[in-house]
Amino acid sequence: KTAMQIVEIMKVVEARHPVVMATRVSAEKSAEIQAALPQATYFEMARICAIQPSVPLAIRPGKLSILTAGTADLPVAEEAAVTAELCGFQVTRLRDVGVAGIHRLLSNRHVIDQSDVLIVAAGMEGALPSVVAGLADCPVVAVPTSVGYGASFNGLAPLLTMLNSCATGIG
């Protein structure tokens, strides 16, 4: 969509809902959108342009944690985190806790134990969601990313790993 198409859509939605989001927005497009809609905020890492209510939404119940295997997975995870926060959820972020440095994940076991839902983003071979689901007693949303080197095949390898996980509670 063009920036002006996004502006028109955001205007229509803003009249009906306190939160409006446009995802996968480049910095250049966001500048155009913000020129037309000064109330819009741009979340650069998440690539989200949003209009938020003047009064924050009530905090929704439940604890949502978002984990990334590596720093290259951050944009995908941040898109999920910002979306959840805009909808009123409390979010805890654990970054760079992949299986290559499993001690970083295990030293944050308390976050996993206190979470009601875990969103786990991973590229490369996509093993982190399976490991996390083996530790957790809550739903785990596995998110493959298309980053990585070697034979990740633009995200196909992590997707297949996540689809073939034997861990319970993973989707």
Same domain, 104 and 126: yes
Same domain, 46 and 128: no
Q: Does a structural domain hold residue 132?
A: yes
Same domain, 86 and 143: yes
Same domain, 44 and 82: no
pTM to 2 decimal places: 0.88
Instruction: Give the span between the Cα atoms of 50 and 36, in whole angstroms.
Output: 13
Which percentage of the chain shows pLDDT scores above 70?
97
pLDDT > 70? residue 107: yes
Same domain, 103 and 149: yes
Q: Does a structural domain hold residue 56?
A: no
Out of 7-11, 108-112, 125-129, 155-159, least confident range: 155-159
Question: How confident is the model over 94-118, as a mean pLDDT?
Answer: 93
Q: Does a structural domain hold residue 42?
A: yes
Same domain, 80 and 124: yes
Instruction: Give the span between the Cα atoms of 85 and 90, in whole angstroms.
Output: 6
pLDDT classification of 10: cutoffs 50, 70, 90? very high
Cβ-defined contacts of 131-139 (< 8 Å, 24+): 131/99, 131/102, 131/105, 131/167, 132/67, 132/105, 133/165, 133/167, 133/168, 133/169, 133/170, 134/167, 135/109, 136/112, 136/169, 137/169, 138/169, 139/169, 139/170, 139/171
Q: Does a structural domain hold residue 58?
A: no
Residue numbers of the domain that contains 107? 64-164
Q: Does a structural domain hold residue 160?
A: yes
The predicted-structure confidence for 61-101, as pLDDT tens digits, reads as follows: 999 999 998 888 899 999 999 999 999 999 999 999 988 88
Q: What is the dihedral of CA 144, 146, 147, 153, to 10 degrees?
A: 110
Mean confidence (pLDDT) of the chain: 90
Is the distance from CB of 46 to CB of 30 less than 8 angstroms? no
| Residue closest to 95 by CA, chosen among 72, 70, 117, 116 | 70
